[in-house]
Amino acid sequence: MEQLLNLRDLLDHQVEDLTSAEDQIIEALPAMIENAKDGRLKKALNEHLQVTKEHRKRLDKIKQLLGTQQSEDAEGKTKSFLERIFGGGTKCKGMEGLLTEGEKVIKEDMDAQVKDAAIIAAAQKVEHYEISGYGTARAYAAQLKLDVVEKLLNSTLNEEYQADDLLTALALGKVNLEAERGGNAARRGNNRANGRAQATKPPARAAKKSAVKKKSARKKAAKKKGAKKAARRR
Closest approach of Fe ion to the CB of residue 153, in Å: 11
Q: Which stretch binds Fe ion (CB under 5 A): 5-13, 34-42, 124-132, 205-213?
A: 124-132
Find, among 23, 45, 30, the residue nearest to 96 by Cα: 23
Closest approach of Fe ion to the CB of residue 137, in Å: 12
How many residues lie near Fe ion (CB under 5 A)? 3
Q: Which stretch binds Fe ion (CB under 5 A): 49-57, 66-74, 171-179, 199-207?
A: 49-57
Pick the closer one to Fe ion by CB: 47 or 180. 47
Closest approach of Fe ion to the CB of residue 111, in Å: 29
Pick the closer one to Fe ion by CB: 31 or 110. 31
Q: Does 13 bind Fe ion (CB under 5 A)?
A: no
Q: Which residue is nearest to Fe ion (CB)?
A: 55
Q: If DSSP states are collapsed to H, E and C, what string results for 119-186? A: HHHHHHHHHHHHHHHHHHHHHHHHHCCCHHHHHHHHHHHHHHHHHHHHHHHHHHHHHHHHHHHHHHHH
Question: According to CB under 5 A, which residues from 204 to 223 bind Fe ion?
Answer: none
Find, among 118, 149, 115, 119, the residue nearest to 134 by Cα: 149
Question: According to CB under 5 A, which residues from 50 to 109 bind Fe ion?
Answer: 52, 55
Q: Which stretch binds Fe ion (CB under 5 A): 122-130, 168-176, 182-190, 210-218?
A: 122-130
Closest approach of Fe ion to the CB of residue 184, in Å: 35
What number of CA atoms fall less than 13 Å from residue 129's CA on the CB side? 22
Phi, psi of 111 (to 5 degrees): -55, 140
Q: Is residue 21 within 8 Å of 94, Cβ to Cβ?
A: yes
Closest approach of Fe ion to the CB of residue 180, in Å: 30
Question: According to CB under 5 A, which residues from 129 to 168 bind Fe ion?
Answer: 130
Q: Is residue 19 within 8 Å of 102, Cβ to Cβ?
A: no
Rounded to an integer, what distance in angstroms lies between the CA atom of residue 143 and that of residue 146?
Answer: 8
Rounded to an integer, what distance in angstroms lies between the CA atom of residue 5 and that of residue 203?
Answer: 74
Pick the closer one to Fe ion by CB: 62 or 179. 62
Closest approach of Fe ion to the CB of residue 177, in Å: 28
Q: Is residue 129 within 8 Å of 94, Cβ to Cβ?
A: yes
Longest dimension (CA), the chain: 123
Question: According to CB under 5 A, which residues from 164 to 193 bind Fe ion?
Answer: none
Residues contributing to the site for Fe ion (CB under 5 A): 52, 55, 130
